[in-house]
Amino acid sequence: MLQLQTLRDNKDTIIAALQKRNIDAAPIVDSVLLLDEKRRSTQTELDNTLAESNKLSKEIGNLYKTGKAQEANVLKEKTGTLKEDSKRFGDELNAITEQLQQLLYQIPNVPHESVPAGSTEDDNEEVFKEGDIPVLKEGSLPHWELAKKYDIIDFELGVKIAGAGFPVYKGKGARLQRALITYFLDKNTEAGYTEMQVPHMVNEASGYGTGQLPDKEGQMYHIGADDLYLIPTAEVPVTNIFRDEIVNEQDFPICMTAYTPCFRREAGSYGAHVRGLNRLHQFDKVEIVRVEHPEKSFDALDGMVEHVKNILRELKLPYRILRLCGGDLGFTAALTYDFEVFSTAQDRWLEISSVSNFETYQANRLKLRYKDENGKSQLAHTLNGSALALPRVLAGILENYQTAEGIQIPEVLVPYCGFDMIK
């Protein structure tokens, strides 16, 4: 959430920057600033009324002490009116503050200056590519057919149990899935990230804290009886560990990693591009989250990008990195790099990770602050990334590593799996 002071001081700059998202933000920014003026004037009225009431209360006490009860009673009538006025101003202030908050929730983060202009994913900027795309033999299969051939993932059984988008991993498929989770966690902890185990459900405040609410409310599974949400990513519970917290400046960087299942109601349209593991309602992901000093957050973002690169190099999967354009940038992000692995059998790129810097946007919602060297509270910067999302990594391994004898396991995963081939 953008800070009111920042909006007041940089109105025109922010409106111009949000045009990269193809948004005309002028009307809502103007509404926010007008409402903020009303809030401040109402606050002044309330403060003045309370001050006058307190002043009269002291005078009444002194009049009673000096035996001037009649004069005191006259003033008591005035304080009664003042109390009614203060209640009215207080109610107005609460209503204005809530309305202002809801308007601020509707304004997305300001894109970083390096974010390219553009409307769709076609306008994203490729900044890096690495790895040779394997040449598959004639008759090579997409991962959903390989999964059936080798009986390692059962999509139809998932439909029976829960519905489309809930696969069942079997035998070596389940072991490979577990191996990937453990491998990703090991890589992250070796890089200095503290492993966390967090709830798979969060309350409404947590959803608002990281920006899933109200923006993505329709994409989350909601448990109405308890007013809880199944998490769409570990980013939500991990980052909310620091909601309403003041951290020590010397504790930066704060680095955490967590494995969780992820749940998303919307699973896209129909067709080959969402078949199999390409898009699911439930999937596994290992996340990395950082809380950083504002002056170091973009260096940290570069470090996160390099970290994900190293994992993909070890897996020997061909991949590329895209800098997302304004039109494809997530609501809360200032800058995002997407990693895509090449699916040889499908002849297309599949997104497997997003690494983002939110600057102060989430921290302002979370009230996540630190004390600077002068003892003044400042908003921290938050970052997160997938390291990695499993379904499409697994799809890439199955398709790119298929041979006439079976599916070869990437060398780095063999110690985790306990086998080197799925036959």
Structural domains of the chain in order of their starting residue, each with its CATH number: 4-105 (1.10.287.40), 121-422 (3.30.930.10)
Annotated binding site for ATP: 264-266, 351-354
- Residue 54 is predicted with a pLDDT of 86
Summarize pLDDT for 261-295 with one digit per residue, the tens: 999 997 554 455 678 999 999 999 999 999 999 99
**Residues of each annotated binding site:** 233, 264-266, 287, 351-354, 384
271 or 164, which is more confident?
A: 164
Contact, 350 vs 396, CB < 8 A? yes
Quick count: other Cβ atoms within 10 Å of Cβ 76? 14
pLDDT, greater one: 74 or 254:
254
- How much is the average pLDDT of 127-147? 93
For residue 346, pLDDT beyond 80 = yes
Q: Give the separation between CA 285 and CA 280, rounded to whole angstroms.
A: 12
Contact (CB, 8 A) for 391 and 277: yes
pLDDT, averaged across the chain: 94
pLDDT at 73: 77
Mean pLDDT within 344-373: 96
Beta carbons of 306 and 103 less than 8 angstroms apart: no
23 sits in the region (left: phi over 0; alpha: psi -120 to 50; else beta) called beta
Return the pLDDT at 273. Answer: 61
Q: At what angle do helices 297-315 and 172-190 cross, to 10 degrees?
A: 140
Least confident segment among 68-77, 161-170, 242-251, 405-414: 68-77
Fill in the DSSP letter of residue 402: B
Given its phi and psi angles, is residue 111 left (phi above 0), alpha (psi -120 to 50 degrees) or beta? Answer: beta
Beta-carbon contacts of 144 under 8 Å, excluding residues fewer than 6 positions away, are 153, 155, 275, 276, 277
Q: How far is the C-alpha of 244 from the C-alpha of 221, rounded, in Å?
A: 25
Cα 293 from Cα 215, distance rounded (Å): 27
Q: Report the distance separating Cα 423 and Cα 408, nearest Å.
A: 9
The pLDDT value recorded for residue 270 is 47
Task: Please write down the long-range contacts of 115-118, taking CB distance under 8 Å and 24 or more positions apart.
Answer: 115/20, 115/323, 115/324, 115/325, 115/326, 115/329, 115/334, 115/335, 116/20, 116/323, 116/325, 116/326, 117/20, 117/325, 117/326, 118/325, 118/326, 118/327, 118/328
In single-letter form, the type of residue at position 418 comes to G
Higher pLDDT, 137 or 356: 356
Q: How far apart are CA 330 and CA 260, in angstroms?
A: 21
Residues of the binding site for L-serine: 233, 264, 287, 384
Rounded to two decimals, the pTM is 0.93
Instruction: Tokens 């003044």: give the residue.
Output: 376
Comparing CA positions, the residue from 261, 263, 258 lying closest to residue 222 is 263
pLDDT band at 402 (very low <50, low <70, confident <90, very high): very high
